[in-house]
Homo-oligomer: A and B are copies of this chain.
Amino acid sequence: MEQLQFEARHLVPRAARHGNAFEETIERLLTSIKLGIFAVGQKLPPERELAEMLGVSRATLRDALAELQKANYIEVKRGRYGGTVVASNAPAAQGPNTKPDPAELEDVLTFRQVVEPAAAALAAEASLSPAARNHLLTALAEVSAAPAEHFRPKDARFHIAIAELTGSPSLVAAVADVRARVSNLLDLIPLLPPNLEHSNEQHKEIADAILRGDSEAARRAASHHIEGTANLLRGFLA
């Protein structure tokens, strides 16, 4: 087997279609909620727009939304100025509770350590508009103020916000994607108040470095922060 591990079939483009469009759409909407991209109480884009964003027909999107509604993740109101809203009583994560494949764990942590510190460094190097600075500060304030049970989405949102400051859509996508996988892992372990506090301090450090344009400090702080989470995950899951 050793000689074969670098064969083409082992690295060929991964299947782009995971299950059918319907299931994939549910999955992606759920992920967006968990990442805080759609925050609790916030309105989702209108169905017609959302369908186009996700690259599925409105019929398929509606099937997925109906499913989420049945599971109490969202609430739907008709009429002008109506829309779909993330429910405040959205069910907590109900992961399979099975320890993940160790290879998947290492892959996520490795890739995260690649993209997130780089994003922080690039954000610090960028010339930030007032709106951008405000975006980061808002995300920071929200995660700091969040009660424990709403911490994870706000935390994710903050990390993604950093990537957004870089102006690179690919980097944003990579960070969002890796953060979704991290969130799934974090759902398997307890959220301890000391860790939460520590995270908030580190978030502030990262944001400060970015806002004062200190690229190396931003990279270091982000790297350090991420290594902390990595150790936590390895400790509980390895």
Evaluate whether A54 and B16 lie within 8 angstroms (CB atoms) in the complex, with A11-B37, A131-B6, A135-B6 already known. Answer: yes
A128-147: which have CB < 8 Å to B?
Answer: 129, 131-132, 135
Chain B residues near A107: list those with CB within 8 A. Answer: 168-171
Q: Is A89 in the interface zone, CB < 8 Å from B? A: no
User: A4 CB to closest chain B CB, in angstroms?
Assistant: 9
Contact B13 A31 (CB under 8 A): yes
- What's the tally of chain A residues with a CB closer than 8 Å to chain B? 58
Chain B residues near A12: list those with CB within 8 A. Answer: 32, 37, 45, 50, 53-54
Q: Is A210 in the interface zone, CB < 8 Å from B? A: no
Cβ-closest chain B residue relative to A108: B170
What DSSP secondary structure best describes chain A's contact surface?
helix
Cβ-closest chain B residue relative to A4: B131
Contact A55 B15 (CB under 8 A): yes
A21-44: which have CB < 8 Å to B?
Answer: 21, 24, 28, 31-32, 37-38, 42
Q: Is A110 in the interface zone, CB < 8 Å from B? A: yes
> Which of A68-76, A158-166, A184-192, A198-206 binds B?
A158-166
Contact B174 A17 (CB under 8 A): no
Q: Is A222 in the interface zone, CB < 8 Å from B? A: no
A166-216: which have CB < 8 Å to B?
Answer: 166-174, 176, 178
From B111, B122, B132, A174 is in contact (CB under 8 Å) with: B111
Contact B173 A14 (CB under 8 A): yes
User: A171 CB to closest chain B CB, in angstroms?
Assistant: 6
Evaluate whether A111 and B168 lie within 8 angstroms (CB atoms) in the complex, with A15-B55, A32-B13, A176-B11 already known. Answer: yes
Q: Is A59 in the interface zone, CB < 8 Å from B? A: no
Q: Is A56 in the interface zone, CB < 8 Å from B? A: yes
The 27 listed contacts between A and B (C-beta, < 8 Å) are A8-B32, A9-B49, A11-B172, A11-B176, A12-B37, A13-B37, A13-B176, A14-B173, A15-B52, A15-B53, A16-B16, A16-B17, A16-B24, A16-B55, A17-B56, A18-B55, A107-B168, A107-B169, A108-B170, A110-B122, A110-B168, A110-B170, A111-B171, A114-B122, A114-B171, A118-B118, A170-B178
